[in-house]
Amino acid sequence: MFENVYVGAKDHEAGRDALALARQLVSPDGDLTLVSVFVAVNTPPPDGGAGWEVGERRRALARLARLRDDSHVGAELSWLQARSAAAGLSEVVRGHGDLLVVGASRRDDYERVFVGDDAREVLEHAPSAVAVAPAGYAARAGALRVIGVAYDGSPAGEQALDAGRRLASARAAELSVFQVVPEPIRVRDPWHVEAEIAAGVERAGRRLAELEGVTTHAVSGDPADELARLAASVDLMVLGPHTRRPVDRLAGGSVAQRLADTIPCPLLVLGPPATGS
């Protein structure tokens, strides 16, 4: 499905996970490129020597070569300098790739606040589709037998459904479509909130029943929490293009960003539609 796939390899373990997922998603005749980003916040000190960049590049490419050899895969190697890992990865994939694959963050909540989270930052402004491999994926990667799609009837949901269908067809996989009905912010009758939610789930179920050739599930709750729970039954979860609403700041990030931290299976978040489409 994806012809030009770039794999962010910040460290060996996360790189192995990302590369294992990239091999699942790249087209048979597609190209893989392993990328290492050197984060340069400040200009190197004057006594750093003119060869500091050459040395850093050589070491990074050697690490990528070991990762490639350990994974027994053919891939190009790339190194660049940027103000952040997310900025560098976005730069290298923009105009050249149609998928960027990264490993999920190994940092805890405290570290994410004060150090950052590369997967979340990549999703924020990614120019292409982004796939996130959960920690330890390389050791358990298998065939994509069941593909899940987060669907809500919106244009983004339809894009996710179309991509899910194409992936499932190419791999002879089953397709499961999930719609999570969030609890309403405003309710008509505060005394009958549960009945209103149940009615929303019923309406969603009827819409999903009109879809052909898929297994469907309609539930209520927090979208990120419910999709993470439902993801235990699939081998890949597909979401439409990343969007972030003002309310997501209060929720700890967008649905895609929160899933990148918690989902047990690989996550594929589609890129923005091509201009003019």
User: What pLDDT was estimated at residue 275?
Assistant: 47
**C-alpha torsion sign, points 183, 187, 192, 195:** negative
User: What pLDDT was estimated at residue 115?
Assistant: 44
Asked if residues 86 and 118 have their Cβ atoms less than 8 Å apart, the reply is yes
Q: Same structural domain for residues 173 and 72?
A: no
Task: Report the candidate in 174, 41, 26, 64 with the shortest Cα–Cα distance to residue 115.
Answer: 41
User: What pLDDT was estimated at residue 277?
Assistant: 40
User: What pLDDT was estimated at residue 154?
Assistant: 92
User: What pLDDT was estimated at residue 10?
Assistant: 80
Q: Same structural domain for residues 112 and 136?
A: yes
Q: Same structural domain for residues 206 and 132?
A: no
Q: Same structural domain for residues 28 and 134?
A: yes
Q: Same structural domain for residues 93 and 9?
A: yes
Of 91, 110, 141, the last residue of a domain is 141
Of 115, 141, 167, the last residue of a domain is 141
- Tens-binned pLDDT, residue by residue, of the chain (277 aa): 799 999 998 888 999 999 999 999 999 999 999 999 998 765 555 555 557 788 889 999 999 999 999 989 999 999 999 989 899 999 999 878 899 999 997 655 544 443 457 888 899 888 899 999 999 999 998 899 999 999 999 999 999 999 999 999 999 999 999 999 987 655 565 656 787 788 889 999 999 999 999 999 999 999 999 999 999 999 999 999 976 655 555 556 789 999 998 899 999 999 987 544 4
Alpha carbon 95 to chain centroid, angstroms: 19
Give the range of the structural domain holding residue 177, as residue numbers without chain letter: 143-277
Q: Provide the CATH number for the domain around residue 112.
A: 3.40.50.620
Indicate the pTM of the whole model.
Answer: 0.88
Q: Same structural domain for residues 135 and 195?
A: no
As for how many domains the chain has, the answer is: 2
User: Any residues with CB less than 8 A from the CB of 158 and at least 6 apart, and which?
Assistant: 151, 240
What distance in Å separates the CA atoms of residue 206 and residue 217, rounded to the nearest whole number? 10
Q: Same structural domain for residues 113 and 155?
A: no
